[in-house]
Amino acid sequence: MSDQTLYIEAKEDTPMVKHEKVGDSNVITIAGVSMPENTLDFYLPLIQQIDEICSGSKKNKLIFHLEYMNSMSNKQVLKLISSIFKKDPELKVIWQYSNGDELIKMKGEEMRSILEGIDLSVEEIKL
């Protein structure tokens, strides 16, 4: 089991990514704006790193709090969740949206309908 931690600073067009060990659980938070010029350059290494962090653990939680996500990021986020779910069928995904952000709320609900069988909750964050 890896104690590897991951932290990627948010940039103008890419989200902050943070891994925390909470007891024996992995909590990975992805927050901010996701619209990188080359989505694969950002997400492929990220998916590999998160796969490594989560492999061997059955207590993984992904928290998304995105303010904006383009369609290419949407595809990569789906790949990320699916990839971890294959290794950890008990994966918990929390899709957060800011109070009144109907677009991000709808994206979360869309993800939940696409990713059947995954424990994905859509939660409003009061600011």
Copy the structure tokens of residue 50: 């998160």
Whether residue 104 is predicted with pLDDT greater than 50 in this model: the reply is yes
Cα R_g (the chain), whole angstroms: 14
Q: What is the CATH number of domain 7-125?
A: 3.30.750.24
pLDDT band at 3 (very low <50, low <70, confident <90, very high): low
Domain segments of the chain as ranges: 7-125
pTM for the full predicted model: 0.93
Between the CA of residue 28 and those of 63, 74, 94, 100, 103, what are the distances in Å?
6, 17, 10, 24, 22
Quick: pLDDT tens for 58-83. 899 999 999 999 999 999 999 999 99
